[in-house]
Every structure is written in structure tokens, then in C-alpha cells.
């Protein structure tokens, strides 16, 4: 009796030990992944620094990282970088919010209203095919060189991406779920609110992720040519004045801004559509 119990206890201990070993191995692999992810960019920066110091490359064009960091410090303490960042961020966020809200609303509406869809959807698809940045000269003519034209380029790109994604989510909605909704008493506004809208959220968030990245591209390009502040202006102006160290600071800030905004959208997505993430676990 005790022998059997002891044996069973041993078996449990052995299993626990095996679990502990597997967990430790997985933790080790995870740590290795992390260190590799950090090591790669750090080594590249070190290589860049060495290449510039040893004059393998022209340091006047490929400003070494240490110089860039110094330039960044100056731009921050002078207030230039924060104010450029704020200008770009404001244009991007305002344009993004307006475009996303409008595009989602119009896309969902076209999804449920067939005559509207027939009337507008082909037109919108054709308009989307025009690169939104090509609208900038026209917008400048109409609105002048103020904030409106710049924000509208972001609105345009965001609007069309969300319109197309939301429309397609409704159009390709699982008919079985619509039927289940109807069977359990959802019709009209309730069908929209409790079935179509939540079921379309994953596609809407895909649209948000895509369009925030596109929006950053568009606002940067806009600021290149039609602005006297903002990160795009910082990059473009630094190039024209041949101050590559500042140009690199601007580029790095734009990249970091893109990463940060994408992370914000991803965090919102985890809150708004938790079921999608649990599924993939």
C-alpha cells in the first residue's frame, strides 16, 4: 500500500521535474530570442560607428551614431524636435481619427444599403487607386498652405482604407451568424449593433493598422514639400541645408513614432476584440 503510494508519488515528482526542465528550456529559448533581437541592431550601430570612425564610409554623409545622438540631444534641448514631433503627431492623429470614423461609418453603411453601394462603391474604389499624396497639389490650391490641406491628405488615405475594409467585412459576413442572430431576435438596428458591428471589428482593426502606417508616410511626404514644421520638414530641411546628423534624427523619430502608434492600435485591438487574440493562443 505505502509502496504503491510512494511509487505514485515518485511518478508525480518525476513528471513535475520533467515539466520544470521543459519550462526552463523554453525560458532559455525566449531569452535567446530577446537577446538576438537586441543584439542585431546594436551590432549594426556599432559597425556603422566603426565604419565611420575608420573612414570606410564618408562620415559627412553617414554620420556616426554617436554624432546623431549628440544632434538629437541638441534638437531636444532647443525644443525643435519636440515641437516638430507635436506638429506631425497632431496632423496625423486628427486626420486619422476623422478619416477612420468617416471611412468606417461609410463602409458599414454601404455594406448594408445596396443601392448606396451600387452608386458609390465603384467610385470609391477608383478614387482609392489614386495615390492620395497626388491629391496634395489640388488640396493646396483649394485650401491654401494651411493645416487643412495637410490633415486632409491623412484623412483621404485613412478614409479609403477603412471604407474598403468595413464594406468588405459586412459584404463577406458569415451568413450563418446573421441567421443565428435573426433566429434569436436580432433584426434591424439590433442586428447591426449586436451582430454586424462586433463581427466586423477585426477587419476594421486591420484597416486601422494599415492606415496608421500609410498615414505616417503621407504626412511625412506632405511635410517635405508643403510645411515649415513637423518631422517631414525636419528631414527635408536638414537635407537641403546639408545637416545629415539632423536628418538622421528626424528619420529615426519618424520610425519610432510609427512603432509607437502601431503599438497603440495593437493595444486598443486587444481590448476591443479580445476573442481574436485568445483564439490564436
H or E segment at 131? none
| Contacting residues for 247 by C-beta, under 8 A, at least 6 apart | 234, 235, 238, 239
Please identify, using beta-carbon distances, which residue of 131 and 198 lies nearer to other proteins. Answer: 198
Please identify, using beta-carbon distances, which residue of 207 and 215 lies nearer to other proteins. Answer: 207
Please identify, using beta-carbon distances, which residue of 26 and 179 lies nearer to other proteins. Answer: 179
- Sequential DSSP letters for 157-225: HHHHHHHHHHHHHHHT--HHHHHHHHHTT--THHHIIIIIHHHHHHHHHHHHHHHHHHHHHHHHHHHHH
Nearest CA-CA partner of 164 in 117, 115, 196: 117
Nearest CA-CA partner of 234 in 88, 132, 63, 96: 88
If one asks whether residue 199 binds other proteins (CB under 8 A), the answer comes out as yes
If one asks whether residue 188 binds other proteins (CB under 8 A), the answer comes out as no
Q: How many residues bind other proteins, per CB under 8 A?
A: 21
**CB 193, min distance to other proteins, A:** 10
| Residue of the chain from 25, 35, 198, 241 that contacts other proteins (CB under 8 A) | 198
Is residue 162 within 8 Å of 207, Cβ to Cβ? yes
Nearest CA-CA partner of 96 in 2, 24, 160, 179: 160
**CB 174, min distance to other proteins, A:** 9
If one asks whether residue 273 binds other proteins (CB under 8 A), the answer comes out as yes
If one asks whether residue 206 binds other proteins (CB under 8 A), the answer comes out as no
How far is it, in rounded angstroms, from Cα 254 to Cα 257?
5
Applying the rule CB under 8 A, the residues between 154 and 183 that interact with other proteins are 176-177, 179-183
Please identify, using beta-carbon distances, which residue of 65 and 199 lies nearer to other proteins. Answer: 199
If one asks whether residue 55 binds other proteins (CB under 8 A), the answer comes out as no
H or E segment at 53? helix 2-53
**CB 129, min distance to other proteins, A:** 26
Applying the rule CB under 8 A, the residues between 250 and 269 that interact with other proteins are none
Please identify, using beta-carbon distances, which residue of 143 and 194 lies nearer to other proteins. Answer: 194
Check residue 185 and give left, alpha or beta (phi > 0: left; psi -120 to 50: alpha): left
**CB 178, min distance to other proteins, A:** 9
Please identify, using beta-carbon distances, which residue of 208 and 226 lies nearer to other proteins. Answer: 208
**CB 79, min distance to other proteins, A:** 46
How far is it, in rounded angstroms, from Cα 270 to Cα 218?
26
**CB 279, min distance to other proteins, A:** 5
Q: How far is CA 96 from CA 14, 75, 156, 222, in A?
A: 56, 27, 9, 15
- Site residues for other proteins per CB under 8 A: 176-177, 179-186, 190, 194-195, 198-199, 201, 273-275, 278-279
Amino acid at each position: 500500500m505505502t509502496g504503491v503510494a510512494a511509487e505514485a508519488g515518485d511518478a508525480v515528482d518525476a513528471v513535475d521535474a520533467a515539466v520544470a526542465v521543459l519550462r526552463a528550456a523554453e525560458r532559455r529559448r525566449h531569452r535567446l530570442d530577446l537577446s538576438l533581437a537586441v543584439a542585431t541592431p546594436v551590432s549594426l550601430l556599432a559597425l556603422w560607428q566603426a565604419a565611420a570612425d575608420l573612414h570606410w564610409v564618408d562620415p559627412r554623409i553617414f554620420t556616426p551614431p554617436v554624432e546623431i545622438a549628440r544632434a538629437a540631444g541638441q534638437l531636444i534641448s532647443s525644443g525643435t524636435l519636440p515641437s516638430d514631433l507635436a506638429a506631425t503627431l497632431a496632423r496625423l492623429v486628427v486626420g486619422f481619427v476623422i478619416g477612420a470614423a468617416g471611412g468606417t461609418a461609410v463602409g458599414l453603411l454601404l455594406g448594408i444599403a445596396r443601392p448606396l453601394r451600387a452608386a458609390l462603391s465603384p467610385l470609391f474604389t477608383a478614387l482609392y487607386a489614386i495615390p492620395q499624396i497626388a491629391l496634395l497639389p489640388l488640396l493646396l490650391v483649394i485650401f491654401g498652405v494651411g493645416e487643412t490641406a495637410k490633415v486632409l491628405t491623412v484623412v483621404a488615405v485613412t478614409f479609403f482604407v477603412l471604407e474598403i475594409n468595413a464594406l468588405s467585412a459586412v459584404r463577406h459576413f458569415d451568413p450563418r451568424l446573421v441567421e443565428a442572430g435573426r433566429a434569436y431576435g436580432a433584426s434591424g438596428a439590433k442586428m447591426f449593433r449586436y451582430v454586424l458591428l462586433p463581427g466586423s471589428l477585426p477587419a476594421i482593426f486591420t484597416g486601422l493598422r494599415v492606415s496608421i502606417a500609410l498615414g505616417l508616410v503621407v504626412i511625412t511626404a506632405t511635410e517635405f514639400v508643403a510645411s515649415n514644421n513637423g518631422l517631414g520638414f525636419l528631414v527635408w530641411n536638414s537635407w537641403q541645408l546639408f545637416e545629415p546628423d539632423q536628418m538622421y534624427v528626424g528619420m529615426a523619430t519618424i520610425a519610432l513614432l510609427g512603432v509607437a502608434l502601431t503599438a497603440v492600435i495593437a493595444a486598443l485591438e486587444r481590448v476591443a476584440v479580445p476573442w481574436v487574440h485568445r483564439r490564436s493562443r
